[in-house]
Amino acid sequence: MLYTPDLNTILKHRYQLVQSLPSGNFTHNYLVKDQKNNHHYVLKLLSLREAKEWKNIELLKREAGILKHLNHPAIPAYVDFFHEKTSDNSYYCLVQSQVEGKTLAEWVKQGRHFSEPETLNIALALTDILEYLHQLSPPIIHRDIKPANVLLDEQGKVSLIDFGAVRDKILHDEDKTLGIGDGSTIIGTYGYMPYEQFKGKAIPASDVYSLGATLAYLLSHTDPADMKSVDMQLCFEPYINVSPALVQVLKKMLQVNWKKRYLAVNPLKQHLLRIQQGKKSSRLQLPNLPHWLGHAILSISVILALYFFFEHEEELPPWIPMVKFYSMQRIFYSMILNIMRQLNPSP
């Protein structure tokens, strides 16, 4: 039996439940309409009758407290937090701004395959968010980066959600009192959390590991928990097909020993940018040629291709002549351009 309010219920005399959204680990999520300003928000609702343990309530309170002090375009903005009592139940509710998009887990489940450039874009967007969180005073460690907590919209904008597991110095003593993250309760998701988190330790390098596991999942469609590991070291290489440079970055991100990882997000970000720039510069770069010369090179390549085509027409299978012609034209065109580069190299 679900102890949740019906749709169209108005909570706090203000928030009307409009639509059910995918649920969280211990919350029911709704799209709500604010009766005061007609804006739409996301409301995370925890039913006291469904709460398995008191720590779930504390985690939701923690998320509200953290969001209240964050200000980043890729993180949901805090709107409200309240406790609502009814005749037969009690609800704790966190209201936050609505973030467009689907989770990375949903995209993969729907069959989307992410290319290396797309994955790099997502990684760089997440490093921007983590850099903001880790540079706060005190630093904020997310502790639960995974595909289900990263949103991606149709335009490629990335957002990070679910801050119930965050760790900072202010909350550290409270965590010990509650038994959260001190070894008695594990915060994080198996497969995406590093070894030190199993012992209750969370540092910036912990988020780096979780990000690496998330990227490995995107590129492989295989949960890291299902990948082979040797001495707790994740063996992700057989599951993905990317450039050697990205493999090396992922290896460093996923080291079991946190001291061997990127200890801060910025060096990781710089390595990812170098890979991204390297891919862009590896594309065919045409030299700056006069307009007439460019047309001349194109014409010569077509003439050579036609000559080769008709000279060897009888040797070609009848079903691919145009494909062969186009391929030959591109080959001759590239050869002439390379010669031009040698004769007139760019500065």
pLDDT for position 217: 98
pLDDT for position 132: 98
Distance CA 198, CA 183 (A): 7
Q: Residue 3: inside a domain, yes or no?
A: no
User: Comparing 276 with 303, which gets the higher pLDDT?
Assistant: 276
pLDDT digits (tens, 9 = 90+) for 96-132: 999 999 999 999 999 999 999 999 999 999 999 999 9
Strand ranges (E), 136-249: 150-152, 158-160, 229-230, 233-234
Distance CA 252, CA 224 (A): 16
Lowest mean per-residue pLDDT among 149-158, 178-187, 230-239, 290-299: 178-187
Say if residue 232 is in the same domain as residue 276: yes
Mean pLDDT (whole number) for 216-231: 97
User: Comparing 177 with 134, which gets the higher pLDDT?
Assistant: 134
Say if residue 128 is in the same domain as residue 35: no
Domain final residue, candidates 53, 77, 97 = 97
Say if residue 190 is in the same domain as residue 276: yes
Distance CA 48, CA 332 (A): 73
What is the extent of the structural domain holding 301? Answer: 291-343
The percentage of the chain sitting over the pLDDT mark of 70, rounded to a whole number, equals: 74
Say if residue 201 is in the same domain as residue 131: yes
Q: Residue 252: inside a domain, yes or no?
A: yes
User: Comparing 331 with 257, which gets the higher pLDDT?
Assistant: 257
Reported pTM: 0.75
Instruction: Label the pairing between strands 15-21 and 158-160.
Output: unpaired
Say if residue 146 is in the same domain as residue 90: no
Mean pLDDT (whole number) for 56-67: 92
Domain final residue, candidates 230, 262, 281 = 281
Which secondary structure element, helix H or strand E, spans residue 90, and what is its range?
A: strand 90-97
Beta bridge partners of 44: 29, 94
Backbone angles phi, psi at 74, to 5 degrees: -105, 15
- Name which of 148, 158, 29, 43 is nearest 96 in CA terms: 43
Say if residue 309 is in the same domain as residue 275: no
Backbone angles phi, psi at 163, to 5 degrees: -105, 25
Q: Residue 132: inside a domain, yes or no?
A: yes
Say if residue 315 is in the same domain as residue 277: no
Backbone angles phi, psi at 158, to 5 degrees: -110, 140
Q: Residue 4: inside a domain, yes or no?
A: no
User: Comparing 178 with 140, which gets the higher pLDDT?
Assistant: 140
Q: Residue 274: inside a domain, yes or no?
A: yes
Show the tokens assigned to 238: 């057989």
Q: Residue 77: inside a domain, yes or no?
A: yes
Say if residue 272 is in the same domain as residue 325: no
Q: Residue 2: inside a domain, yes or no?
A: no
pLDDT for position 291: 57
pLDDT higher than 60, residue 286 = no
Say if residue 172 is in the same domain as residue 313: no
| pLDDT confidence tier of residue 173, bands split at 50, 70 and 90 | very low
Domain final residue, candidates 76, 97, 118 = 97
298: left (phi over 0), alpha (psi -120 to 50) or beta: alpha
pLDDT digits (tens, 9 = 90+) for 310-347: 555 555 555 445 555 556 556 655 666 666 555 544 43
pLDDT for position 283: 47
Distance CA 14, CA 200 (A): 39
Read off the CATH number of the domain in which 22 is found: 3.30.200.20
Say if residue 208 is in the same domain as residue 123: yes
Backbone angles phi, psi at 23, to 5 degrees: -75, 155
DSSP 187-217: -S-TTTS-HHHHTT---HHHHHHHHHHHHHH
Domains identified in the chain, total number: 3
pLDDT for position 209: 98
Say if residue 152 is in the same domain as residue 259: yes
Read off the CATH number of the domain in which 268 is found: 1.10.510.10
Show the tokens assigned to 211: 């990000």
Beta bridge partners of 29: 21, 44
Say if residue 80 is in the same domain as residue 109: no
pLDDT for position 236: 97
User: Comparing 246 with 317, which gets the higher pLDDT?
Assistant: 246
Q: Residue 286: inside a domain, yes or no?
A: no
Cis peptide, bond prior to residue 138, ω within 30 of zero: yes
